[in-house]
Chain A
């Protein structure tokens, strides 16, 4: 089911890390789960190319923001590699989020200036 690219939003450089960290706030998740969650919570507007997720996950792990462990899923007898946030990851998320908010506000002011009264 190929779709026209204009329907989908391209992910901004660096925001994928933030999305991953945010997703993990709700609990440990494996790579596929993270991809699915991102797509679902953006109501399919954001499609992460699955392959690009893994370098990001490993970079975050290397930098100590997340940790990983092979664990059995709650209901199944199969092991997946679950990622979870570390304390440093939490701090990183807070920092990135405030930066992001600032960016959104700044861009918003440019694109939709509040009419001066």
Chain B
């Protein structure tokens, strides 16, 4: 393969063995004819004489083959030696090209590992057999989850794939000194077997494990087994207490298996008796494994058929919903795709810019090597050989750049992985595994070779067209590479400038967006605040739970370092809340039939103080607002202002499920989702009046909040050993969780923007100063004939301005397209923000002109006597 490529490159094909044999045979025949015709040999002796005159046929064909055998390799070695010497002779050039290309390759390799991790969520499984099944409707186009009825229908009716369901299962593990929250999934009993998930120890669930009468069994993840049970083999068949019930450990998943996202424990889904008819509640995540011989298309079609059946069976709930089968490579959120697409475009641009920059450097070097090349061409070195020589040289630089690029990628990949908080990473199965592997190495190698082709093809192509007479008749001085070479280089510089504009505009938009987010008011205190999940046993009665909340409040209040603590059903910025619909008595129904809905937050009286919520009217929830007192609520400012515009909300009534609640206070708006999402109506009620269970705890400390985590954990365990806390985070972590994806993108684009900007400016500087150097004599003549420095400056500067302006114009067009892609990630700044576009364009123009002024000034001060003396 390689050999063929090389011989093709040289334009000389090694003859096949058959060809050689045929040629020698032909010779013997011709010789025999000649001998026979001469009449000097007896006809019977002819063949023997011909063979004798020829010599040993075997030896000859062997030595002919030898001549071809090592040619390509020897020539390669020769080219490599030449190339190495040429590169060492001009170290500045070699280093500049290697670094420029390394930047592009490094960015590309980082991006490749990112994409690879996203698109191969389960590398341990049969990727091409796995599918992800989502249930969507026109009203919920990004919904993923499906109903128990849909799962039941798929399991019994689908022939092209085996369907499995999973549901989030947050439970507690009882330990020696209390309980802790563990994250798990309940899965269909057949899940591990159907998807082919490997085990390190033990086995998966029995096929009937999801019958409610089956004994409770659990499977541990490798990491949980490692961290919590010190990887002890004795864990299998032992009994652990999860959520207050005994479970037998029957297996441990193989190392690195993450399914469907990071988890600690698994148990079979125990379906409610009505599961097969529960169409309305959609909480299951569905996967499938294609059966032998079934294609993705047939699975898609079958799911559509079953979905239509569901629509007929339960039109009220399912007529608008469709089951969509997607390949597992698409198992990620739409946000992930947007991030990937933006990063991908930016990285591709950087890669192109780095290749162009390298080509530019190579072109200018080629100009100075023109004499050498012309001489070699004159000495009979063939054109292909010359080109190959240059390509080999380029390949050597590219491989060095590839190695450097891998180092950069290692740094970039680690930076990306660490930029995202652990719980974001938990939602992208491959995130924790982002790293450099054999595939990244292969990618880098391909990228290096591609870079070689892009950056060497132009110069090599041009160099081999060296016209001997023009070069040598110029006495070797006119080495401009001709007008055409300058035009190629100018085109490259224009493109470099436009790429710099695109990437810099994107970086600026995102940076401003992140700054807007950080400046946004979350409505609560972020410093010295801790939030965590709080779990109490399911079977606890309301009164027992209220009693626990009261004792916990007392115990926490008495703990040194804690200023206030409150139990709540959701925490700010968590993006994890329940809603409720509500009515305002006397308010006309919405014509569209849409009911009013709000975030329904249940809190203990101290929560407002602990979270740092601001009450702006009336009062907050008080300790006296208990089960015996009047039902009261605090609403947020947004709800108060839109329900009772211009009026006080205090004393008004909000009806929830036909029960009236009296508004006693108005709180400042709090962001429950990300900063880029709108604030929602929020209704606060006391946990002692609303019967929902609260699952979170907020703590305000006067010490380092992270250091208080353990104190809080112990206090909860002391109050009730069956209660557990988990997922402890500071509010600053919560903020970071929302901002970090945006910040990562902003930082990434900013780094790339600096790279492209540098490439553009260096390219422009190089081109202008090269042009000035070439035209020294012409400028000398002009000055001698009376041109003033100002004229020369304007002339050279004007050329630079034209190039930059063209690049900026192209770049702004590209940036507009890129910004549209960014639109979904922007907050507080539009994708067409004129200030950003104008600012970036003006900034680049200024920097580019400054770079061009240096050589222009030099040109305007050319000493005509010096310039003309060397004519």
User: Cβ of A8: which chain B residues have Cβ within 8 Å of it?
Assistant: none
Query: Which partner residue on chain A sits nearest B378 by CB separation?
Result: A91
Q: How far is the CA of A116 from the CA of B31 in the complex (A)?
A: 51
Interchain CA distance A32-B22 in the complex, whole Å = 13
Given A1-B40, A88-B380 in contact, is the A31-B64 Cβ separation under 8 Å?
A: no
Q: Is A108 an interface residue (CB 8 A)?
A: no
Which residues of A have CB within 8 Å of B56? 51
Q: Is the interface of A mostly helix, strand, loop or mixed?
A: helix
- Asked if A49 and B30 sit within 8 Å, CB to CB, the answer is no
Min C-beta distance of A51 to chain B, whole Å: 3
Select which of A32, A52, A58, A88 is within 8 A of B27 by beta carbon. A32
Interface assignment of B63: CB less than 8 Å from any CB of chain A = yes
Any B CB within 8 A of the CB of A97: no
Give which listed residue, A33, A36, A49, A54, contacts B23 with CB less than 8 A: A54
CB contact between A54 and one of B22, B24, B31, B53 (< 8 Å): that residue = B24
Interface size class on chain A is 20 to 34
How many interface contacts (CB-CB < 8 Å) are there between A and B?
Answer: 68
Q: Does B57 contact A (CB under 8 A)?
A: yes
The proximity string for B residues 22-40 relative to A, scoring 1 for CB distances below 8 Å and 0 otherwise, is 1110110011001000001
The range of chain B's interface size is 20 to 34
Task: Please report the C-alpha to C-alpha distance between residue A68 and residue B26 in the assembled complex, in whole angstroms.
Answer: 15
> Chain B CB within 10 Å — which of A36, A64, A92 has the most?
A64
**Of the residues B12, B55, B57, B380, contact of A49 by C-beta under 8 Å:** B55
Q: How far is the CA of A79 from the CA of B385 in the complex (A)?
A: 31
List A contacts of B22 (CB < 8 A).
81
A62's partner among B24, B27, B34, B68 (CB-CB below 8 A) is B68
CB contact between A31 and one of B27, B34, B57, B66 (< 8 Å): that residue: B27
Q: Which residues on B sit within 8 Å (CB–CB) of A92? A: 380
| A80 and B26 in contact, given A51-B55, A55-B63 (Cβ under 8 angstroms) | yes
Provide the bound-state CA to CA distance between A79 and B19, in Å: 12
Whole-angstrom CA separation of A63 from B637 in the bound complex? 87
Task: Tell me whether A50 and B31 are in contact (CB under 8 A).
Answer: yes
Give the complex CA separation of A61 and B22 in angstroms: 17
A30 to B68, CA, bound (A): 19
Output the residue of B12, B59, B66, B380 with the most chain A CB within 10 A.
B380
Asked whether, in the complex, the Cβ of B57 is within 8 Å of the Cβ of A51, the reply is yes
Complex Cα distance A11/B860, Å?
Answer: 68
Interface string of B417-443 (1 = CB under 8 A from A): 000000000000000000000000000
Cα(A39)–Cα(B61), bound, Å: 23
Question: Is A99 close to B, CB under 8 A?
Answer: no
Cβ–Cβ contact B34 & A32, under 8 A: yes
Q: Hey, which chain A residues are within 8 Å of B61, CB to CB?
A: 54
B470, CB-defined interface residue at 8 Å: no
Contact residues in A for B40 (Cβ distance below 8 Å):
1
A62: chain B residues within 8 A (beta carbon) = 12, 67-68, 71
Residues of A within 8 A of B385 (CB): 64
**B784 / chain A contacts, CB cutoff of 8 Å:** none
Interface members, chain B 514-537 (any A CB < 8 Å):
none
| Residue A72, interface by CB 8 Å | no
| Nearest B residue to A48, CB-CB | B53
User: How does the 8 Å CB contact mask read for A22-36 relative to B, with 1 for contact and 0 for none?
Assistant: 000000001111001
B415 at the interface (CB under 8 A from A): no
B60 within 8 A of A: yes
Interface bits A53-83 vs B (CB < 8 Å: 1, else 0) = 0110011011010001000000000011100
Task: Please give the residue numbers on chain A whose beta carbons come within 8 Å of chain B beta carbons, in ascending order.
Answer: 1, 30-33, 36, 49-52, 54-55, 58-59, 61-62, 64, 68, 79-81, 88, 91-92
Given contacts A55-B66, A68-B15, A88-B380, 10 further A-B contacts (CB under 8 A): A30-B30, A50-B53, A51-B57, A51-B60, A55-B67, A58-B15, A59-B67, A80-B26, A81-B19, A81-B26
The 5 closest A-B pairs by CB, nearest first: A51-B55, A32-B30, A51-B60, A50-B54, A55-B63
Residue ranges of B at the interface with A (Cβ–Cβ < 8 Å): 11-12, 15, 19, 22-24, 26-27, 30-31, 34, 40, 53-57, 59-61, 63-64, 66-68, 71, 380, 382, 385
